Amino acid sequence: MNHPPVSRALFDQIMVPNYAPAAIIPVRGEGSRLWDQDGREYIDFASGIAVTGLGHAHPKLVAALAEQAQKLWHVSNVLTNEPALKLARRLCELTFAERVFFANSGAEANEAALKLARKYSADHFGPDQREIIAFTPSFHGRTLFTVTVGGQPKYTEGFEPLPPGITHVPFNDLAAFAEAISDQTCAVIVEPVLGESGVISATPTFLQGVRELCDRHKALLIFDEVQCGNGRSGHLYAYMGYGVTPDILTTAKGLGGGFPISAMLTTTAIAASLNVGSHGTTYGGNPLGCAVANAALELFSAPELLADVRRKHAVFMAGLRRINERFGVFRELRGMGLLLGCELAETWRGRSREFIKAALDECLLVLVAGPDVIRLAPALIIPDELIEEGLSRFERAIARLCAQPTP
């Protein structure tokens, strides 16, 4: 059968309409650049939503994938494999963790963490300690459990009835949290840096207070580092920069540099509650994903790279401040490492997607974090010259927006 060329229009004909992708189709990437079907070159400040933290087609990741692809792709969880064990061992060496569970996505890692917390509570405290506390606004995934924990109505409407036993309090509000937590609380889940919900960092006082109150009430503290982990904050994991250690940590996105893989990290004592048969996943810990993640972890855990991420944060912030001095479109510039948020000024509120489109027209990929925030999440290894060129394209995009008549 002869098919016409693949185009963006084909998406609307054959795909479920839950996404609205941009008009271009990338076909090749190298480092912090992408090329579309027509050969146009784009600078990538999005990294596939903070996933390709080592850029596109990194030679060491490509080599790891190619080597493993010629050996062993899949054995399922009825057998273990060398790449998975090597990756788990290295994650334990580099973090507080003593035990690791592998899955395929951030939502699955969070699902595992939440299930483990409930199971641990059942094993140790009986049937009354079941409540999970989360913070608003936050995002923890799209399974029914994780989307309920995220607490945003726009993601749960139409999917009711929702899982019970979940309480929400405002992010960074320690007083509200202190009032909410009790001896019925089995776990508290928090993003150290809100990713989808505006790129807002937790205050050190807030996280320290949450840790202390969890200890007082014998509740497990879960850090969702799906987006802010794997070097993106300028630390291997953001908890290290805060000096607050969770009981369970979830990681995904940048862990595989673009290959789907996630992990839940915890201690031996807590992990014991996930006994044989209590939880599982067919593809989690597959040799291909773990081989790539081993190579990625070696790169993004290097102290020199992490220090450079912190330096590049300052380069970005200086450039964004220069742009804002000219146009005044941002109310606040914030973030940590190479996860940056540009909150729109009052007159531009609700129009973040217009900035995405304008940037794309200037051959620059950026993200939103809600209707009022532009999010930048470039590769951790992006060179300074591409930072400056990308910011120049961003400035041109903003200039064009500002030149348009007010709607």
Q: What is the pLDDT of residues 341-359, one digit of tens each?
A: 999 999 999 999 999 999 9
- Give the whole-angstrom CA distance, residue 389 versus residue 385: 6
Per the structure, the count of domains in the chain is 2
pLDDT of residue 82: 98
- Give the whole-angstrom CA distance, residue 184 versus residue 348: 43
* Percent of the chain whose pLDDT exceeds 90: 97
Q: What is the pLDDT of residues 144-179, one digit of tens each?
A: 999 999 999 999 999 999 999 999 999 999 999 999
> Do the domain assignments include residue 361?
yes
Burial zone of 155 (CB within 10 Å; 0-12 exposed, 13-18 middle, 19+ buried): middle
The yes-or-no verdict on residue 404 having pLDDT over 90 is no
Burial zone of 43 (CB within 10 Å; 0-12 exposed, 13-18 middle, 19+ buried): buried
The yes-or-no verdict on residue 406 having pLDDT over 80 is no
Q: Give kind and range of the element (H or E) at residue 228.
A: none
Q: Give kind and range of the element (H or E) at residue 368.
A: strand 367-368
**Catalytic positions:** 139, 224, 253
Average pLDDT of 188-215?
98
The domain containing residue 153 runs over which residues?
Answer: 72-300
Looking at the structure, do residues 211 and 97 belong to the same domain, yes or no?
yes
Q: How confident is the model at residue 278 (pLDDT cuts 50, 70, 90)?
A: very high
Average pLDDT of 323-352?
97
> Do the domain assignments include residue 3?
no
The domain boundary, picked from 244, 270, 300, lies at 300
3-state secondary structure 374-385: EEECCCCCCCHH
Average pLDDT of 313-334?
98
pLDDT of residue 39: 96
The domain boundary, picked from 271, 300, 329, lies at 300
Looking at the structure, do residues 261 and 324 belong to the same domain, yes or no?
no
The yes-or-no verdict on residue 182 having pLDDT over 90 is yes
Q: What is the pLDDT of residues 83-109, one digit of tens each?
A: 999 999 999 999 999 999 999 999 999
* Rg of the chain in Å (alpha carbons): 21
Q: How confident is the model at residue 127 (pLDDT cuts 50, 70, 90)?
A: confident
Q: What are the E-state strand segments in 161-260?
A: 166-170, 185-190, 193-194, 200-201, 220-224, 248-251
Check if the beta carbon of residue 193 is closer than 8 Å to that of residue 233.
Answer: yes
Residues of 276-286 as b/e, b for ≥16 C-beta within 10 angstroms?
Answer: eeebebebbbb
The yes-or-no verdict on residue 2 having pLDDT over 80 is no
Q: How confident is the model at residue 407 (pLDDT cuts 50, 70, 90)?
A: low
> Do the domain assignments include residue 210?
yes
Looking at the structure, do residues 88 and 179 belong to the same domain, yes or no?
yes
> Do the domain assignments include residue 326?
yes
The domain boundary, picked from 265, 300, 335, lies at 300
Q: What is the pLDDT of residues 204-261, one digit of tens each?
A: 999 999 999 999 999 999 999 999 999 999 999 999 999 999 999 999 999 999 999 9
Check if the beta carbon of residue 204 is closer than 8 Å to that of residue 240.
Answer: no
Looking at the structure, do residues 255 and 370 belong to the same domain, yes or no?
no
The yes-or-no verdict on residue 309 having pLDDT over 90 is yes
pLDDT of residue 99: 98
Average pLDDT of 360-378?
97
The yes-or-no verdict on residue 1 having pLDDT over 80 is no
- Give the whole-angstrom CA distance, residue 30 versus residue 381: 12
CATH of the domain at 107: 3.40.640.10
Looking at the structure, do residues 108 and 97 belong to the same domain, yes or no?
yes
Check if the beta carbon of residue 381 is closer than 8 Å to that of residue 55.
Answer: yes
For the chain, helix, strand, coil in percent to 5 are 40, 20, 40
Nearest to 316 by CA among 352, 349, 342, 345: 342
What is the residue type of 248? Answer: I
CATH of the domain at 13: 3.90.1150.10
Three-state secondary-structure class, residue 151: coil
The yes-or-no verdict on residue 126 having pLDDT over 90 is no
The yes-or-no verdict on residue 374 having pLDDT over 80 is yes
> Do the domain assignments include residue 67?
no
Average pLDDT of every residue of the chain: 96
